[in-house]
Chain A
Amino acid sequence: MTLSAEALALYQDAVESLASNSPAWLAGLRRKALDRFATNGFPSPREEEWKYTNITAIERKGFAVATSMGEVDPAWIGSLLLPECWHLVLIDGHFARDLSHPALVGDVVFCDMEAAKLRHADLLAEGFGQAVDVDHGFIDFNTALFQGGALIRLNPGTRLEQPIQILHILTQAAAIPTRHLIQIGEEAEATVIESHAGVAAGLTAHVSEVLLGKNASLKHFIIQEDHQRAFHFGGLYVRQETGSRLAQTQFALGGFLARSEIHVTIGKDCETLLDGLHWANGRRHLDTHTRLVHAKPNGTSRENYKVIAEERGRSVFQGRIVVEPGAQKTDAAMNNRNLLLSDDAEVDSKPQLEIYADDVKCAHGVTIGQLDPDALFYLQTRGIDAESARQLLLYGFVNELIEAVDVEPLRGYLHRQLDRRFHAIPLEENP
Chain B
Amino acid sequence: MTDTLLKIENLHACVEDKHILKGIDLTLDYGQVHAIMGPNGSGKSTLANVLAGRDGYEITEGRVWYRGHDLLAMPPEERAREGVFLAFQYPVEIPGVSNIYFLKAALNAIRKHRGESEVDAMDFILLVKEKMKRMQMDEQFLYRAINEGFSGGEKKRNEILQMLVLEPTLCLLDEIDSGLDIDALKIVAEGIEALRSPERGFLMVTHYQRLLDYVQPDVVHVFANGRIVKSGGPELARELETKGYGWIEHYLEAQAR
Which residues does A use to contact B, with CB under 8 Å?
372-375, 377-386, 388-389, 392-393, 395-401, 403, 425, 427-428, 430-431
Contact = CB atoms under 8 A, between A and B. Distances in A.
A378 B92 contact: yes
A383 B55 CA distance: 16
A400 B53 contact: no
Interface stretch (B23-31, B73-81, B196-204, B208-216): B73-81
Contacts of B95: 396-397, 400
Contacts of A403: 96
A396 B94 contact: yes
Contact of A386 (B75, B97, B166): B75
Among the interface residues A375, A381, A428, A430, which one has the most CB atoms of the partner chain B within 10 A?
A: A381
26 contacts: A373-B55, A375-B92, A377-B54, A377-B92, A378-B88, A380-B53, A380-B80, A381-B52, A381-B77, A381-B84, A381-B85, A381-B86, A382-B166, A383-B107, A383-B110, A385-B109, A386-B77, A395-B96, A395-B97, A396-B145, A399-B96, A399-B97, A401-B96, A430-B98, A430-B100, A430-B143
B106 A384 contact: yes
Given A383-B110, A398-B96, A400-B145, A377 B76 contact: yes
A167 B34 CA distance: 63
A404 to B, nearest CB: 10
A237 to B, nearest CB: 31
A-B complex: 9 closest residue pairs judged by Cβ atoms: A396-B96, A400-B96, A382-B106, A399-B96, A383-B109, A383-B80, A396-B97, A380-B76, A378-B92
A386 B53 CA distance: 12
Contacts of B143: 430-431
Interface of B: 52-55, 75-77, 79-81, 84-86, 88, 91-98, 100-102, 105-107, 109-110, 113, 143, 145, 162, 166
A382 B97 contact: no
B101 A372 contact: no
Contacts of B113: 383
Contacts of A377: 52-55, 76, 92
B92 to A, nearest CB: 4
Contact of B76 (A381, A393, A400, A428): A381
B215 to A, nearest CB: 21
B77 A380 contact: yes
A367 to B, nearest CB: 14
A29 B169 CA distance: 76
Among the interface residues B77, B101, B109, B162, which one has the most CB atoms of the partner chain A within 10 A?
A: B77
Contacts of B96: 395-401, 403
Nearest to B98: A430
A292 to B, nearest CB: 25
A403 B98 CA distance: 11
Contact of A384 (B85, B91, B100, B105): B105
A59 B215 CA distance: 73
B77 A383 contact: yes
Given A397-B96, A431-B143, A381 B53 contact: yes
Among the interface residues A375, A380, A399, which one has the most CB atoms of the partner chain B within 10 A?
A: A380
Among the interface residues A379, A385, A392, A431, which one has the most CB atoms of the partner chain B within 10 A?
A: A379
Contacts of B85: 381
Given A377-B54, A400-B145, A382 B102 contact: yes
B108 to A, nearest CB: 9
A382 B92 contact: no
Contacts of B53: 377, 380-381
A375 B148 CA distance: 12
A401 to B, nearest CB: 8
Contacts of A430: 98, 100-101, 143
B71 to A, nearest CB: 13
Contacts of A395: 96-97
A428 B97 CA distance: 11
Contact of A383 (B54, B106, B145): B106
A155 B169 CA distance: 67
A378 B95 CA distance: 13
Nearest to A372: B92
A8 to B, nearest CB: 49
Nearest to B147: A378
Contacts of B107: 383
A128 B52 CA distance: 63
Nearest to B105: A384
Contacts of B52: 377, 381
Contact of A388 (B91, B94, B98, B105): B105
A397 B148 CA distance: 13
Nearest to A377: B54
A108 B114 CA distance: 60
